[in-house]
Chains A and B, each alone.
Chain A
Amino acid sequence: EVQLVESGGGLVQPGGSLKLSCTPSGFTFSDSAMHWVRQASGKGLEWVGRIRSKANNYATAYGASVKGRFTISRDDSKNTAYLQMNSLKTEDTAVYYCTRLWANWNAFDIWGQGTMVTVSS
């Protein structure tokens, strides 16, 4: 079965850090660009950022609201993508999804179930 599983969410204080993981199964992870998308409660989808494959030099890009605070990485040997979140703010509270970009369609065809991040004192 093709799927993505996120983990690592939880409660963190403002200014703190948290690292999310995304583990795929059922497809060749190393060939895929992986993206992170978040959704605050009752709100819409917001793109967080992405990391491309080794063939594309593991290039990263980020949304304006997280740039400089969040870092996306991957370990193809462990079939895992990561989202390192630093200097967290209360407005970062959201469900975080990892998703695969299917290059042939230039669209996100596989989504994880999401992991909740709560930033609160």
Chain B
Amino acid sequence: SYELTQPPSVSVSPGQTASITCSGDKLGDKYACWYQQKPGQSPVLVIYQDSKRPSGIPERFSGSNSGNTATLTISATQSTDEADYYCQAWDTSTVVFGGGTKLTVL
């Protein structure tokens, strides 16, 4: 079965850039999405089709996907960005989520 691998945790200082990676076999041949989940809340879509942002998502959120790795980049990170982030892709018609990355802003 297809697997997506994320680092369990990433730390960043306020105002700096955070990068969260998601690795999978030939992931660049698929579309990747990213979801943000804060404690006690439902996931929120922040990036779709590798690099597109839904309305209401700040411009500091961006994404890329090439080769075996998709990357979520958060520029000028704020304390409000502290959350768990999940990548997601499709394996034929089934959905695959990465294990999640806890972003700590300190």
Is there an interface contact between A44 and B97, defined as CB atoms closer than 8 Å?
yes
B77-106 with Cβ < 8 A to chain A: 84, 86, 88, 90, 93-100
Q: Mark B1-21, 1 if CB is under 8 A from A, else 0.
A: 100000000000000000000
Residue of B nearest to A63 (CB): B94
B61 at the interface (CB under 8 A from A): no
Interface: A82 (CB within 8 A):
no
Structural contact, B99 and A106, CB atoms closer than 8 A: no
Q: In the complex, what distance in Å separates the CA atom of A64 from the CA atom of B98?
A: 16
How many interface residues does B have (CB within 8 Å)?
25
- Give the distance in Å from the alpha carbon of A109 to the alpha carbon of B44 in the complex: 7
Per-residue 0/1 for A75-116: is the Cβ within 8 Å of any B Cβ (1 yes, 0 no)?
Answer: 000000000000000000000010100000111110111100
Partner of B43, one of A61, A64, A106, A111: A111
Taking a contact as CB atoms under 8 Å apart, the answer to whether A108 and B42 are in contact is: no
Interface residues of B in 10-37 (CB under 8 A from A): 31, 33, 35, 37
List A contacts of B43 (CB < 8 A): 37, 45, 97, 99, 108, 111
Answer whether residue A46 sits at the interface, using C-beta atoms and an 8 A cutoff: yes
Q: Which residues of chain A from 20 to 62 have a CB within 8 Å of any chain B CB? A: 35, 37, 44-47, 50, 61
Which positions in A face B, CB cutoff 8 Å? 35, 37, 44-47, 50, 61, 63-64, 97, 99, 105-109, 111-114
Please, could you name 6 A-B residue pairs with CB atoms under 8 Å apart, sorted by A?
A37-B97, A44-B98, A61-B94, A107-B45, A107-B48, A111-B43
Given A108-B45, A109-B45, 10 further pairs, Cβ under 8 A: A44-B98, A44-B99, A45-B88, A45-B100, A47-B95, A61-B93, A64-B1, A99-B43, A108-B43, A111-B44
